[in-house]
Structure 1
Amino acid sequence: MTESLRTGLAQLAPVLLNKHATTEKMLTFCDRAGRESCDLLIFSEALLPGYPFWIEHTDGARFESDLQKEFFLKYYENAVDIPAGDLTSFCEIAKKYHMAIYLGCIEKPVERGMSLYCSLVYINQHGEIDSVHRKLVPTYEERLFWSPGDGNGLQTHKLKEFRVGGLNCWENWMPSARMALYGQGEEIHISVWPGSQRNTEQIVPFIAREGRCYSVGVGGIFRKADITSDIPASEQFRSSAGPVIANGGTCVAGPDGKWLLPPQTDIEDLFIVDLSRDEIIKERLNFDPAGHYSRPDVLELRVNKTRQTPLSDDLFST
């Protein structure tokens, strides 16, 4: 028997458009996971400072809308500036508990002006940021507020005996993006979502079967009651929204595609699952997507990991 990886899945609601309050809430889950001896803790897509649920409820596609500009201003002000230290507290608690963290956030990188990116950040067990993956293609209305990312963060990371990798939301439907991680030895696939069982119940076990890996889906929660009065057009937002906007759907499937944790809905909680590498090895007897079933003599995938920048010199670090 090989050692196991204790994995924590944090399903919670943000304090929408409030970076500091959401950070404090997330840190309580970090502390709880650390005290539960988790090796890895995962938060949902865009959790810090929240997914832009307001777009479809406040006429978000209207061009030159003063209201949408107000939303963007507040979103930008509360977005994550990594070089400025906005994730330092997460790095410190990761180091304290010797626990890796995958964290979904809205990033505002200075080298890309004031554009915002949906980013999945990996913090290792030493409290160091190893990768920042910017979502390749924002989905549908997300394109009104988020910019398309690049391949720089398409990386896997060694964690104990495992290699872990992750994608944001509908990126998980992109075959080439999945293969880019399988080809780097991925054994635990992390998919993060704004929340809802309809997003995770089919693709999480499918990825497990395709990759013969553990497939972990983490979704968020958001309800009408979470729309606070300091959010622009809060009354309009509330009147358009149903009682539950995102119901979670956090789940885990084993390398055989069977549920280890069926989709969990409508509750904020920390779910913990222990993963054994032995089960991955067993399932790859028949199918190994980056091994004997990859046929590199016939099929080849090239991945551009260059960090996008409008400048060709070294003014900004890549």
Structure 2
Amino acid sequence: MGSKNFKAAAAHIAPVYLDPVASTQKACSVIAESARNGASLVVFSESFLPGFPVWAALYAPIQSHEHFKRFLNASVYVDGPEIERVRKAASDNGIFVSIGFSERNPASVAGLWNSNVLISDTGEILIHHRKLVATFFEKLVWDPGDGAGLVVADTGIGRIGGLICGENTNPLARYSLMAQAEQVHISTYPPIWPTRVPTESDNYDNRAANRIRASAHCFEAKCFGIVVAGRLDESARRSIAQDDPAIAAIMDASPHASSFFLGPTGAPMGDEMVDEGIGYAHIDLDDCIEPKRFHDVVGGYNRFDIFDVTVNRTRRKPVRFQIGQQEYGSRVDAPALEE
């Protein structure tokens, strides 16, 4: 187990939409500022690099090909220069970093995952998670991930896990983290979640839904929650709407998500953040202990003779190449065969 006390930061920050280099630079600035203010962990939103593909909810599939191309070209590889810069910023500032990104698939010119990495204070990637199932309109953008990222990292500041957006609605995914003695749960979300045109009825209240899901997990796991949503700034709004007043109206009517902290009873810690900025909270891991005496669903408050859960953590690849006894992955990394 890690240190009993630390300060966490929630980066309620808008990326520079579809500009991964500028967004990375902005993230590194926030990382440095959070560290200067005494934080040991800073969390960024879902798909911070290169921004969230809200357009997939707003245009018919046959009208969104160009949006997809722009988004694909702005997405990044996990071993690319953008994530490398974030890792260096984490190491240089001695701070843990969680950041969401649209991950390019090295085996496909158009394959993407909705991914997140937890980076240590020495720049090491501790968890590389790909969202298990893309939600609703996200299926037009991102492919399904796998269980390889269902990991809780045992760090010097505690046992940290996390899920992306709608995964926090999946009780088995959440349970798989609870059962690894999770003490701090990170959940990340988009800036808005359009579901209806304004004339029909109110849009899905993502702010309320995010609070319900996060509070439920913290109460059940008896862990702290760091909830970080993206922000949709005017530049992103214009890029997505493209002078279409009907599209702009839907975005304007959609509730903007907030970022916040929760304690291990599910109760809020401090205020919700809606405006751009960095929020902070002090976390005392000892606060996770007393509630476990009431309901420990991965201990004495369960029936393991009745329930049996298995999680497959295999990292899925589309093909494996073998030359002799040496096996290679899906990248073009195998040596050429001799004639």
Q: TM-score, normalised by structure 1?
A: 0.91
Question: Quick check: 2:133–2:144 contact (8 Å CA) kept in 1?
Answer: yes
Q: Hey, what's the Cα distance between the residues in 1 that align with 2:126 and 2:329?
A: 18
Please report how far the alpha carbon of residue 241 of structure 1 lies from its aligned counterpart in structure 2 after TM superposition: 4.0
Query: Of 293, 297, 301, which aligns to 2:305?
Result: 297
Q: Which moved more, 1:81-90 or 1:232-241?
A: 232-241
Distance 1:92 1:221, change over 3 A: same
Residue among 184, 187, 190 paired with 1:188: 184
Q: Is the 8 A contact 2:10 2:44 kept in 1?
A: yes
**In structure 2, do the counterparts of structure 1 residues 158 and 310 end up closer, same or farther at CA, with 3 Å as the change threshold?**
same
User: 1:254 and 2:263 equivalent?
Assistant: yes
Question: Which of 221, 229, 244 is residue 236 of structure 1 equivalent to?
Answer: 244
Who is 1:215 aligned against? 225
| C-alpha separation in 1, matches of 2:108 and 2:38 | 38
What is the rounded CA distance, in whole Å, between the counterparts of 1:317 and 1:290 in structure 2? Answer: 37
Match of 2:198 in 1: none
1:196-245 deviation digits (Å, cap 9, x = unpaired): 5233221221111111111221111114x23376x476212764444375
Could you tell me whether the CA contact under 8 Å between 2:24 and 2:82 is conserved in 1? no
Q: Deviations over 1:106-147 (max 9, x none)?
A: 000203553111001111111011221110111100101111
Which residue of 286, 310, 313 corresponds with 2:318?
Answer: 310
Distance in 2, matches of 1:75 and 1:204, equals 29
Identity, in percent, stands at 28
The residue correspondences of 1:1-318 to structure 2 (distance < 5 A) are 3-57=4-58, 59-61=59-61, 65=62, 67-195=63-191, 196-223=206-233, 225-227=234-236, 231=239, 234-236=242-244, 239-243=248-252, 245=254, 247-265=256-274, 267-313=275-321, 314-316=327-329
Contact (CA 8 Å) 2:90, 2:96: kept in 1 or not? yes
Q: Which runs of 4+ in 1 moved over 3 A?
A: 237-246
User: Aligned partners of 1:192 and 1:270: how far apart in 2?
Assistant: 15
RMSD, matched Cα: 2.0
| Residues 187 and 214 in structure 1, CA contact (< 8 A), matched pair in contact too | yes
Contact map agreement 1:191 1:217 (CA 8 A) in 2: yes
- Distance, in Å, in 1 between the alignment partners of 2:143 and 2:224 is 30
Aligned residues of 1:201 and 1:249 also touching (Cα < 8 A) = no
Instruction: Go from structure 1 to structure 2 and tell me whether the alpha carbon gap of 1:147 and 1:55 turns closer, same or farther (over 3 Å shift).
Output: same
What TM-score comes out, normalization by structure 2 length?
A: 0.85
Residues of 2 paired with 1:232 and 1:301: CA distance? 42
State the structure with more CA Rg. 2
Provide the rounded CA distance (Å) in 1 between the counterparts of 2:317 and 2:53.
Answer: 25
Contact 1:102 1:123 (8 Å CA) reproduced: yes
Cα separation, partners in 2 of 1:50 and 1:60, compared to 1, 3 Å: farther
8 Å CA contact 2:4–2:158 kept in 1: the answer is no
